[in-house]
């Protein structure tokens, strides 16, 4: 990260070129600062004429989050998600859907290709040292490519983390704005820097030498969601929809949030919804992990120094982050 402004990578596949647009610095703004609407990101839809007898082509809005527990949508759960609850009530909840892989990038690549990791070739996170373990090796069309062939306008906004090029136009996304999953946006970095909270160190978990890496685990920021990454992704998606709706062609809009992935950074208003003194702790907090793989016990060292109070505060920030996502989706 070395930029004075928050600049997501934004592209259009038109003429095979990649262009970049600048966005306003997204947090730590002066009092009274208001974000101006971002310019709409346009891309020319495929020249696809309608055919008589063609089946109806519904619009598709795909909302994706990162590391959100499925149980937060259970009835009576402490996490406040009124908009997602309404969506569940009006639609279908797949309560027996299982990921093909517990690791981020392989699971995302499977979602895009419909293939298992050993078929598409992405076996670990894309920022691994070993290039061969994170390279898409399949000529099978992604479903976004199939949608384009069917006359859809396609747009992708947010975390990608499927492969390293971030040339989403190669995979059927005509308009896109994405960031690498391991690159922190300036807005989010500034929000984190303003937080006083517990940190965790990877040297504790992975036996790295002292000073290898220390990361913030949770915290509360004064920056509202609209001035952070989640608000930026939402605005870009809204711009795309405003451009797509008048055209009459069907559209697919994919909004991929980084949150509530750690570090659990949330705004003060959402945090105040949760009482860190009374939130229940997960029984797994005291699990000695006996009989589990050694990497589990190493990872547990990351949180071993935390008090119960800090664990509850981290849980409150986690739930608050989900509540902010719910507000964006509403």
Based on the fold, state whether residues 91 and 163 are members of the same structural domain.
Answer: no
194: left (phi over 0), alpha (psi -120 to 50) or beta: alpha
pLDDT tens column, 72-81 = 999 899 999 9
Q: Which tokens is 181 given?
A: 């999953």
209 within some domain:
yes
234 within some domain:
yes
Alpha-carbon distance of 242 to 300, in angstroms, equals 46
Q: If pLDDT is split at 50, 70 and 90, which confidence band does 100 have? A: very high
Based on the fold, state whether residues 213 and 292 are members of the same structural domain.
Answer: yes
Based on the fold, state whether residues 255 and 168 are members of the same structural domain.
Answer: no
Alpha-carbon distance of 35 to 32, in angstroms, equals 10
Per-residue b/e over 67-98, b at no fewer than 16 CB within 10 Å?
ebeeebbeeeeebbbeebeebeeeeeeeeeee
Neighbours of 238 (CB within 10 A): 16
8 within some domain:
no
Based on the fold, state whether residues 258 and 109 are members of the same structural domain.
Answer: no
pLDDT tens column, 41-64 = 344 444 444 555 567 899 999 999
40 within some domain:
no
Q: Read off the pTM.
A: 0.75
Q: Is the pLDDT of residue 175 over 90?
A: yes
Based on the fold, state whether residues 168 and 199 are members of the same structural domain.
Answer: no
Instruction: Determine the structural domain holding residue 119 and report its residue range.
Output: 99-180
Alpha-carbon distance of 273 to 217, in angstroms, equals 20
Alpha-carbon distance of 231 to 15, in angstroms, equals 29
43 within some domain:
no
Based on the fold, state whether residues 136 and 219 are members of the same structural domain.
Answer: no
47 within some domain:
no
Taking the alpha carbons at both ends of the chain, their separation in whole angstroms is 31
Domain count, the chain: 2
pLDDT tens column, 124-161 = 888 766 666 677 887 888 999 999 999 999 999 999 99
167 within some domain:
yes
Based on the fold, state whether residues 197 and 300 are members of the same structural domain.
Answer: yes
Based on the fold, state whether residues 81 and 176 are members of the same structural domain.
Answer: no
Q: Which helix (H) or strand (E) holds 200?
A: strand 199-201
27 within some domain:
no
């Amino acid at each position: 990260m070395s930029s004075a402004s928050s600049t997501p990578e934004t592209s259009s596949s038109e003429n095979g070129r990649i262009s970049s647009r600048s966005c306003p610095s997204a947090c730590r703004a002066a009092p009274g600062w208001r974000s101006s609407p971002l310019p709409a990101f346009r891309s020319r839809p495929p020249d696809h004429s309608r055919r008589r007898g063609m089946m109806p082509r519904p619009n598709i809005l795909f909302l994706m989050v990162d590391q959100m527990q499925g149980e937060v949508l259970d009835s009576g759960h402490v996490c406040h998600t009124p908009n997602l609850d309404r969506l569940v009530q009006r639609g279908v909840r797949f309560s027996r859907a299982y990921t093909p892989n517990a690791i981020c990038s392989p699971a995302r690549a499977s979602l895009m290709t419909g293939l298992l990791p050993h078929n598409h070739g992405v076996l670990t996170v894309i920022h691994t040292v070993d290039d061969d373990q994170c390279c898409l090796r399949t000529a099978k069309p992604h479903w976004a490519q199939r949608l384009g062939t069917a006359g859809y306008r396609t747009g992708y906004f947010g975390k990608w983390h499927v492969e390293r090029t971030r040339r989403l136009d190669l995979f059927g996304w005509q308009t896109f704005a994405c960031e690498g999953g391991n690159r922190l946006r300036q807005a989010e970095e500034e929000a984190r820097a303003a937080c006083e909270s517990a940190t965790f160190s990877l040297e504790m978990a992975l036996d790295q030498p002292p000073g290898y890496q220390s990361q913030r685990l949770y915290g509360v920021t004064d920056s509202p969601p609209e001035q952070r990454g989640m608000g930026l992704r939402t605005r870009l998606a809204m711009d795309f929809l405003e451009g797509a709706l008048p055209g009459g062609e069907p559209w697919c809009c994919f909004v991929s949030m980084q949150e509530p992935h750690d570090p659990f950074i949330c705004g003060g208003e959402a945090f105040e919804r949760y009482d860190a003194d009374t939130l229940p702790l997960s029984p797994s907090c005291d699990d000695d992990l006996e009989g589990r793989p050694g990497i589990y016990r190493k990872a547990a060292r990351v949180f071993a120094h935390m008090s119960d109070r800090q664990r509850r505060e981290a849980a409150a920030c986690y739930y608050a982050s989900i509540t902010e996502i719910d507000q964006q989706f509403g």
